[in-house]
Chain A
Amino acid sequence: MNILTFVVNVLSIGIPFSVALLLASTGEMFNQRAGVFNLGCEGIMSMGAFLAFMPAHLLQNTSLAPYANLIGIAAAIAIGALFGLLFALVTVTFRAPQGIAGIGLHMFGWGVAGTLFRYFVGGVTGVPGLKNLPIPLLSRIPIIGPLLFNLNGLAYAAFILVPASWYILFKTPWGLKVRAVGTYPRAADTMGVNVSRTRYQALVAGGMLAGLAGAYLSLGQAKMFADDIVAGRGFIAVALVYFGRWNPYLILGGSLLFSVAQSFQLAIQVLGIRFPYEFAVMLPYVLVIVVLALTPGSVTRGPAELGKPFDREKRV
């Protein structure tokens, strides 16, 4: 096997792997830009993955089967929005500490998905999932074509989302408000920006993207559902936001780096180089810690008020 085919192999697994991370961390980026740290991302992804899986599973042999994936994706987005709303209620309205609230939301979402799955489905069953949609002409370009232009719809959407969210964040009034309430909410407040509403909106948007990330996991990647399908990707997504300095392009880079590292270890195993697979599975988690340790701590361009609740009538 030559180097080129090896690289292509690694990338052909790695690029699709990056989509779930990319969607979730872009959502988390909006949360954090608005000043809220949502560790519940993992739990929202569990719920999204489950709800996206269910219609595909139930409608498999009915006349509605062609629409199952769409219904599932819509349900995943809806539950993401709902969980975002719940998290906003707890952390924005009640001003509860965000780290612990995130753990609570994670346990809640993970628990609900697991309970419903075990009750209604029981064991592991596959679903057809999302089909790849090769883009005419472009997908025929050698090497690049199959890598970049033969993906499923959610993956294309995720990559288009990168420039889109950059534009939203830096070039629209809503993005301006999000950045202002995450950095100096009191100033935004005196300018008539409704801090709570903006944070609610950001959390709902972030929740939707996390739900979508979950849908990608069950429909686009694994094509099945299991209790621990998310396996820490939600937490990794949160870490990627730090790594990506709250910037969509850097977050894209981080997602690719992580998933390529993961597919690299898979590819090595395929080559027959033997080492305990547990250490291979560990790799991304170790990588997160290393990356966090090496990321400089200063936040001059990031959201300075990250993690702090805002209380207008608090005296300063």
Chain B
Amino acid sequence: MKSTYRALYIFAISLAAALAAILLGAVVLEILGKDPLAVYKVILTEPLKDLFGLTEISVRMVPLILVALGIAISFRSGILNIGAEGQIQMGVIAAAAAAIYLPPLPKIVILPLVLVAGALAGAIWASIAGWLKAKLNVSELLSTVMLNYIAAQLYGFLLRGPMIDPAELQVGSGTPQSVRLPKAAWIDRIIPGMRLHYGFVIAIVLAILVYVFLWRTKWGYALRAAGAGPKAARYGGIKVETCLIAAMALAGAFAGLAGAIEVTGLHRRAIEGISSGYGFSGIVVALFGGLHPAGIVPSAFFFGLLLIGADMTQRIMSVPANMVLVLQGAVILSIIAAKMLIADQYLFERFARMLEKRGRKAAGGKTKAGAGKAGAAKVDRRREQP
């Protein structure tokens, strides 16, 4: 009986949260004078209509999954990485530089080197914030945000200056971008004519590895303990400060890798705006996925869909693509509020008692409870990992 109430309770709150997020977006659409339902329909269905749309969603999923995996590691270890945006850019720069300046080598050698360079650059950039937190207790929220702005300037400087494509200066329009990477450093595409590349496979494999790492190894145990109960972890002999730095470095490595894969798999040269908000979207993907790889992959699909859908609504219905930010912000606010309500034992017991009373009054309450089950089961699965 109690588990039925529990499921109903979780279902009701998740539903309310989803409605709240949808409503917040709808208010903005109403101000634009657009029919929210029509816009939502375009966003959610249009990209799914052909192979091109599906592959484009998958292309977006690659950086989303990678960034979100890193953010999941950092959040679970008790340090909130908001700096993926800058870490991606650092990854792009390092990967591009490695690909351009390393001597010509066979693909099997150069490509891994390029990817590792990207991951390393992201890790180093992120470790600054981790170190500041661990040693000087500087809020990682603020330091990572600041590092984002700094990275953006550094990135712009390198693309406009030392790394600019000489051809742009001589004959081109001066567009700040690097030369094309040598072919040996390219990640191959999966389907001819589509942009989907093997980075997708890397992302899925890494999702599995992150699960194994966090829940099946002693290192993952130490990181999670440092995040979930830092005091107890300290008493248990875990060096919490080291864990914070390590978690931040790992998160940065994933973001840097995402950047490296974007540049080698998709654009094949470093261009402006390459991170295109993946750093922030990754936070939403990670939270929506319950900070668990099994949730992050479907959640990345959903937000990839939103990104492509928003591009399409911009073309079809002239709703600016910034609308994605609105929806992501609304989703964050409603998810975290819903999470707290779901965890609230006191509220749940009141809810259960209310249902009990109503159940006693009207004996016909049974069918209702059954209807809630299907949806609630889905939500329940995500909550299995504490």
Interface string of A256-291 (1 = CB under 8 A from B): 000000000000000000001011011001101100
A232 to B322, CA, bound (A): 18
Shortest beta-carbon distance, B32 to chain A, in Å?
Answer: 5
Contact among A103, A114, A115 with B332 in the assembled complex (CB-CB below 8 Å): A103
Does B294 make an interface contact (CB < 8 A)? no
Complex partner residue of B138 from A119, A276, A289, CB under 8 angstroms: A289
Q: Could you tell me the distance between the alpha carbons of A81 and B37 in the complex, rounded to whole angstroms?
A: 29
A250 — which chain B residues lie within 8 A by C-beta? none
Pick from B143, B160, B339: contact of A289, CB under 8 Å: B143
For chain B, residues 200 to 239, give those with C-beta under 8 angstroms from any C-beta of chain A.
none
Cβ A278 vs Cβ B325 within 8 A: no
CB contact between A293 and one of B138, B156, B160, B284 (< 8 Å): that residue: B138
Q: Is the CB of B157 within 8 A of A100?
A: no
A245 on interface, CB distance cutoff 8 Å? no
Which of A89, A103, A110 interacts with B283 by CB under 8 Å? A103
| Complex contacts, B18 vs chain A, CB 8 Å | none
Of B52-60, B90-98, B144-152, B264-272, the stretch lying at the interface with chain A is B144-152
What are the interface flags for B131-162 relative to A under an 8 Å C-beta threshold, 1 for contact and 0 otherwise?
01000111101110111011001101100110
Check if A119 sits within 8 Å of B32, measured CB to CB. Answer: yes
Q: Is A108 a contact partner of B24 (Cβ separation < 8 A)?
A: yes
* Minimal Cβ-Cβ distance residue in B for A115: B322
Contact call B329/A232, Cβ cutoff below 8 A:
no
B287 at the interface (CB under 8 A from A): yes
Give Cα distance in the complex from A102 to B287, angstroms.
14
Contact A94-B138, Cβ < 8 Å, known A100-B287, A107-B325, A114-B322: no
User: Is the pair A111, B324 in contact by a Cβ cutoff of 8 Å?
Assistant: yes
Q: Please give me the residue from chain A that is nearest to B337 by CB atom.
A: A94
| A78 within 8 Å of B (CB atoms) | no
Q: When the two chains form their complex, are residues B82 and A103 in contact, meaning their CB atoms are under 8 A apart?
A: yes
Give the residue name and chain of the A residue nearest to B156 (CB). A278
- A39 is an interface residue with CB less than 8 A from chain B: yes
Contact check, B340 vs A286: say whether CB atoms are below 8 A apart.
Answer: no
Cβ-based interface call for A211 (8 A)? no
Residue of A nearest to B162 (CB): A276
Q: Is A116 an interface residue (CB 8 A)?
A: yes
Are the C-beta atoms of A232 and B146 separated by less than 8 Å? yes
| CA A21 to CA B316, docked complex, whole Å | 40
Which residues of chain B (230-263) have a CB below 8 Å from chain A? none
Asked if B31 and A116 sit within 8 Å, CB to CB, the answer is yes
A118 close to chain B: CB less than 8 A: yes
User: In the complex, what's the smallest C-beta–C-beta distance from B155 to chain A, in angstroms?
Assistant: 9
Q: Does B346 contact A (CB under 8 A)?
A: yes
Q: How far is the CA of A288 from the CA of B143 in the complex (A)?
A: 8
Q: Mark A210-250, 1 if CB is under 8 A from B, else 0.
A: 00000000000000000100011001101100100000000
**Interface presence of B319 (CB below 8 A):** yes
Shortest Cβ distance from A94 into B: residue: B337
In the assembled complex, the Cα of A103 lies from the Cα of B284 at a distance in Å of 10
Q: Given the complex of chains A and B, what is the CA–CA distance between A114 and B82 in angstroms? A: 21
B341 at the interface (CB under 8 A from A): yes
B190 within 8 A of A: no
Least CB distance, B142 to chain A, in whole angstroms? 5
Question: Is B328 close to A, CB under 8 A?
Answer: yes
A16, chain B: closest CB distance, angstroms: 22
Binary flags per residue of B341-360, CB closer than 8 Å to A gives 1, else 0: 10000100000000000000
Whether A292 sits at the interface, judged by CB under 8 Å, is yes
The contact of B142 among A96, A227, A278, A292, by CB within 8 Å, is A292
B326 contacts the other chain (Cβ, under 8 Å)? yes
Q: Please give, as numbers and ranges, the residues of chain B lying within 8 Å of A43 by CB-CB distance.
A: 329
Assembled-state Cα–Cα distance A239/B153 (Å):
20
Going nearest first, the 10 A-B pairs with the smallest beta carbon separation are A111-B325, A108-B329, A104-B332, A107-B329, A114-B322, A111-B326, A278-B157, A118-B320, A94-B337, A96-B336
Q: Which chain B residues have a beta carbon within 8 Å of chain A's beta carbons? A: 24, 28, 31-32, 80, 82, 132, 136-139, 141-143, 145-147, 149-150, 153-154, 156-157, 160-161, 280, 283-284, 287, 318-320, 322-333, 336-337, 339-341, 346
| Extra inter-chain contacts (12) besides given A99-B80, A119-B318, A232-B149, CB under 8 Å | A86-B333, A89-B337, A94-B340, A101-B332, A111-B323, A118-B320, A232-B145, A235-B142, A236-B146, A242-B139, A286-B146, A289-B147
Chain A positions near chain B (C-beta within 8 angstroms): 39, 43, 86, 89-90, 94-97, 99-112, 114-116, 118-119, 227, 231-232, 235-236, 238-239, 242, 276, 278-279, 281-282, 285-286, 288-289, 292-293, 297, 313
Show 24 residue pairs from A and B whose CB-CB distance is below 8 angstroms, ordered by the A residue.
A90-B336, A94-B341, A100-B80, A100-B283, A100-B287, A101-B336, A104-B333, A107-B280, A107-B284, A107-B329, A108-B24, A111-B322, A111-B325, A115-B326, A116-B31, A118-B320, A119-B318, A278-B153, A278-B154, A278-B156, A278-B160, A282-B153, A285-B150, A292-B143
